[in-house]
Chains A and B, each alone.
Chain A
Amino acid sequence: MFAFIMRRLGTLGVILFGSSFLLFNLAALSGDPVGELRASNEPDAEARIAAITRSLRLDLPPPVRYFIWLRGILGVFVGKFDLGQTRTSEPVAVAVFDAIPTTLRLVTTAAITAIVLGIAIGIITALRQYSRFDYSMTFFSFLLFSLPIFWVAVLLKQFMAIEFNNWLAEPTIPPTAMITIGLILGLIVAAAIGGDRKKYWRVFFITAAGTVVTLVLMLQLNWFLQPSLGPLGFFAASVGAALLITQLSVGLQHKPSLRAALCMSVLGLVSYYPVNWLFNKENQPLVIFGLLLLTIASAIAASIFFAKIDRGPVVRTAVLTGILTGLLMILDKLMRTWEPYFNTDAVNGRPVPTVGQTNSLLESDDYWISLLDVAMHLVLPTIALTAISFAGYIRFSRGTMLEVLNQDYIRTARAKGLNERTVIMRHAFRNTMIPMTTIIVVDFASILGGAIITERVFGWTGMGTLFNTAINSFDLNLLMGVFFLTASLALVANLVADLLYSVMDPRIRVGAGA
């Protein structure tokens, strides 16, 4: 194992050296940092060319400049790690480390959504192989997969921001539109749930009619301008979450788990008003963290109360339900912040933004208004990134799931008389996750490289923008800084993925025979 890691780290160094040398020289040859000045007929152009030549050492050939850069990197061994300065005399390390949080903020939600949705849909399509749902999801995911993100972004901004904001000035939905929305949702839900023809049509009609009724109610209650779940909606959603989590983790027939989960929902309802009172206090991050600890503690207490033996799964179910209930409460609070947010001068009745990370005019001390502002600025980029990236997860998890379902141990499990839920969740799902994990690790590393196009179209300055700026302004130090970080991360992530594989799958042993 140790030898394996050392060998891999050695290779990593060689790859980094070779690729950085290549990139540096290619980038140096690709353009002229003073090109613009050479074509200028300003009187001071000559002097400025001289100054830039001096500060970028343009008098030296690129390979020599590469070793100047490398000396800074190798300084890590003598405690003087130096990535150099950008052309605007900012240390590259600072520029890069300032960009990382932005990139993380932009892509994390999208990545998690894409992974959860992608795996869920992938597994459902595998279970309903060759059904209408399978075909339509396959079609749909490939459709999204093939769309260019800048185009998706333009459409999203046009319809979900500009037009939607216009519509909010006077929110009405014509009956034909309502019925169309109902029919489409009905088709999707009915196809996902499956079953025989009778059940299919029943689900279809219930969903369609339910959607139309909900829309009418929403309009009547002015829900689009004053949204909220309210204590009852919140409680209903929380009970739904409790049932779903219990079903997925241990099955509804496991009474202690079900009781503990439902107990968390009831606790949520009881604490609805006190918690909302707390939400209006100072120092919200601390309050939320405290509430999280309290939720976990009460979930553990509830499981100890309801379960006498084998408490592990019960605790898990109760904690997950508690956290989901807490998130629902935060969602409810954000919904009720919508109206004050909507009416601030900075937002001025146009709550969905098309660009940027926060509203440039908003000056609010209110934690929830600021949080909602951040969230609103994340909506469109997250939808765009999720839409184009979750197709991959769907296809991969579907394929893996199908392969696992054909394994002997699944047949054995079924032959033992285990119920379908246990077969899928405990035997099939866990084995599906082994290859998925390695993919996710590598994906997370590449995420830090930034989403160049997404960042650009949504006006975020993360790693992708840095890379883009570096290329366009012939800023070699900055380019190499970004490259060095992303390349190292990619290589390390590959190593970690390999090691994880051996940890999760006992059949695989790294370094065996070395």
Chain B
Amino acid sequence: MKKWNRSVKVALAVATTAGLVIGVLSPATAATRSTVVIIDSNAFTSLNPSHNEHNLVLNSNVAYMSGIGFNYYDDKPVLVENKTFGSYKIVSKSPFKVKYTVNKGRIWSDGTPITGVDLLLTHVVSSDQYSIDAGLGDPASEDKEPAFDSGGYSGTYNTLIKNITLAPDRMSVVIEWKKFFPDWEVFAPGVSPVHALVAMAEGKTKLGTNANNVANKNKFLRAFLSKDTDMLRKIGKVWSNSYNVTEVNEKTNPLLLVVNGAMQVESIVKNQRVTLKLNPNYNSGPETSGIEKIVYVTIPDSTAAAQALANKEADYYSALATADSVALLNKIKGITLDGTPEATYEHVEIRSGSAPGGKEYTGPFAGMSQKAKDLRTAALLAWPRQEIIDKIVKPVNSKAVVMNSLQYFPTEPNYGKMIAANELDKFTDGTQAQRTAKALALVKKYYPDAKAGSNSVKIEVLYNTSARRASQAALAKAELSEAGFQVNLNPKSNWGALLTDSTYDVAFYAWGKSALLQTGNFSSYKSADSDSGYLNAKVDEIIGELELGNYNDDQRYSRYLAIEKLMAEDAVSLPIFLWPTLTAVNSDLKNVRPGPLVPNGLWNFWEWTY
């Protein structure tokens, strides 16, 4: 008995020792991480960001990761053709036709093959005419929403695209434009899982068999071609309502989650997070590099976001930079900060006339007379751009410079060439004191007793109510008063609506862009669209050319230069600075290279790796 006891003890001791040895020998951190937690300030609202009311950055980012089409913007930014998915080429110059072909073998996450039929829905949700013809409602109507409550109607697609036709092999579509359009590439049709839409329209709540899916795809095609109002309305109901989910769990209809992108929504906890996992059937785009799960967490407060990064609760955070957030993020160890400027720039606009349909403008800057031009030039000369950069932008981005071209950002290759030629240098020559003196001299021509603080020219300045805008306005007011201007400040939260209001002589705000179009940054200076009432027939003519001409880079450049020169002469607009987006990333996460265009840092998520 005693002996047995002892053997038990020995056995126990051996087992314990073995356990300890195994514990010590096994590596402390075995697996590499395969998850990325991304902070977003909003809560998720819909799987369909094309919906009129769900055009939210977070929704679009989730959609970007879970769906991929013919092209995407990289960090240069250049529109990259996604050759894994398909290809496109111009098949006819006149009439202008482009053929889009999906490669064979591409499949949805439920295994259904992707074909040309999946490209047709774009037409349904973008063409006003189709919506009207198919009895789905007039998207331009004031009082009733169309069956597909899409944000895509009444835009360029609707204005310029005539028709879309499916090729006989059903793998391609041909888009016919009403006339040549230089930015046709941006308007590639997107893919939609039409078989899933049809299944949901018929009330299904489970993934179908392959045969079902093919049948459903054909049903959609028939409905599309015959403009079957009943069927399309049912699909429209699904498209407009069913995808608006704030919660995804095991009870969610799996048909909603059919995608072709690298990631697929796994679960959504309302107001808290969206979890995406690898799509096992993904073959529509570039291969992923080891990240298996991406989670978007909702943290509205920027300090909270920074501290979550510091506590390693999150790996990726991107926000409009402020001096506070830069200071805070700089202190955190183990993260990499990237200050890529986004495609948003601050600029000052001087009114020279009334906006289309606006009340007549009679202020000091009205018209194209020499006096109005001189006074506008004076105001722009005295606008303390360098001081604004030094005091407001440099604390956020130490490399910031005064932006001196309306078309090119200081980061772009053509910028140097442009600023040497565009004649905006008269607003940067010398010191600010010298420029303000020149401005005062110009004002004196018309108001002989003007001097610093004389308040000879009264102007109303409009801007948004934010701290950054307020400090810019204060700097401008002080400097302009040196040149004889009396500046009344009008910080307004509804400034956007007031841009067309002739009460205000000057406005400064930011313009952003989401795609590289041939009209560049100038479409808003067309007299028909100009909020500040700018009217220069020559400028209108060149913008008209840019809207429709087929130009190479040099031809485009020469037109941009011509506009910039004309506008410098008219002294109606001046860029100030490019606002940086701050992206803070866990230093262990590699290959994050934010670009200036949406989706900024996420564009190459498939290359991310630890």
Contacts and interface: CB of A to CB of B under 8 A. Distances in A.
Interface stretch (A82-90, A175-183, A420-428): A82-90
B52 A55 contact: yes
B568 to A, nearest CB: 20
A165 B295 contact: no
Contacts of A44: 151-156
B161 to A, nearest CB: 13
A456 interface: yes
Contacts of B310: 162, 354
Given A35-B496, A38-B497, A355-B299, A50 B140 contact: yes
A457 B301 contact: yes
B46 interface: yes
B350 to A, nearest CB: 16
Interface string B311-355: 111000000000000000000000000000000000000000000
Contacts of A353: 311, 313
B53 A456 contact: no
Given A39-B499, A88-B45, A355-B307, A360 B155 contact: no
A252 B289 CA distance: 69
A89 B244 contact: yes
A47 B53 contact: no
B314 to A, nearest CB: 8
A55 B143 CA distance: 8
Contacts of A35: 493-497
B474 to A, nearest CB: 22
Contacts of A356: 272-273, 297, 299, 308, 313
A39 B308 contact: no
A41 B295 contact: no
B298 A47 contact: no
A461 B247 CA distance: 14
A103 to B, nearest CB: 12
Interface stretch (A69-77, A153-161, A274-282): A153-161
B244 A90 contact: yes
B139 interface: yes
B553 interface: no
B311 A165 contact: yes
A345 interface: yes
A30 B523 CA distance: 30
Nearest to A348: B312
Nearest to A40: B512
A352 to B, nearest CB: 8
B488 interface: no
Contacts of B145: 51, 54-55
A84 to B, nearest CB: 13
A205 to B, nearest CB: 38
A46 B307 contact: no
B142 A54 contact: yes
B54 interface: yes
Nearest to A32: B494
B270 interface: yes
A31 B37 contact: no
B514 interface: yes
A238 interface: no
Contacts of A48: 52, 55, 151
Contacts of A39: 495-496, 499, 509, 511
A233 interface: no
A54 B53 CA distance: 12
A360 B303 CA distance: 19
Interface string B292-306: 010101111101110
B284 to A, nearest CB: 26
A47 B154 contact: yes
A457 B304 contact: yes
Given A35-B495, A41-B524, A360-B37, A459 B509 contact: no
B53 A55 contact: yes
Contacts of B153: 44, 47
B271 interface: yes
A35 B521 CA distance: 20
Contacts of B140: 47, 50
A356 B37 CA distance: 13
A43 B157 CA distance: 10
A456 B300 contact: yes
Interface string A15-49: 00000000000000011101111111111101110
A19 to B, nearest CB: 23
A354 B272 contact: no
B11 to A, nearest CB: 24
Given A38-B497, A59-B142, A157-B307, A461 B298 contact: yes
Contact of B155 (A47, A165, A357, A358): A47
A355 to B, nearest CB: 5
Give the interface centre of A40, A48, A88, A465 by most chain B CB atoms within 10 Å. A88
A457 B303 contact: yes
A30 B493 contact: yes
A162 B300 contact: no
B31 interface: yes
B9 interface: no
A360 B275 contact: yes
Interface string B130-156: 000000000111111100010111111
B543 interface: no
A458 interface: yes
Interface in A355-374: 355-361
B299 A459 contact: yes
Contact of A32 (B56, B241, B295, B496): B496
Contacts of A65: none
A361 B495 CA distance: 42
A360 B301 contact: no
B531 to A, nearest CB: 8
Interface in A106-159: 150, 153-154, 157-158
Nearest to B312: A350
Contacts of B313: 350, 353-356, 359-360
B232 to A, nearest CB: 19
B37 A162 contact: no
B37 A361 contact: yes
Give the interface centre of A39, A42, A59, A357 by most chain B CB atoms within 10 Å. A39
Contacts of B299: 355-356, 459
Interface in B147-193: 149, 151-156
Nearest to A462: B271
A361 B307 contact: no
Nearest to B30: A345
Nearest to A94: B246
A90 B52 contact: no
Contacts of A98: 270-271
B104 interface: no
A355 B156 contact: no
A51 B156 contact: no
Nearest to A361: B35
B89 interface: no
Given A35-B497, A44-B154, A51-B151, A88 B53 contact: yes
15 contacts: A34-B496, A39-B499, A40-B512, A42-B514, A47-B155, A53-B142, A88-B56, A89-B54, A99-B271, A350-B312, A356-B308, A356-B313, A361-B293, A457-B304, A459-B308
The 8 closest A-B pairs by CB, nearest first: A47-B154, A461-B271, A35-B496, A44-B155, A38-B496, A32-B494, A39-B496, A88-B45
Given A157-B307, A459-B298, 7 more contacts: A32-B497, A87-B53, A161-B307, A165-B311, A356-B273, A361-B35, A461-B270
Interface of B: 31, 35, 37, 43, 45-46, 52-56, 139-145, 149, 151-156, 241, 244, 246, 269-273, 275, 293, 295, 297-301, 303-305, 307-308, 310-313, 493-497, 499, 509, 511-514, 521, 523-524
Interface of A: 30-32, 34-44, 46-48, 50-55, 59, 87-90, 98-99, 102, 150, 153-154, 157-158, 161-162, 165, 345, 348, 350, 352-361, 456-459, 461, 465, 468
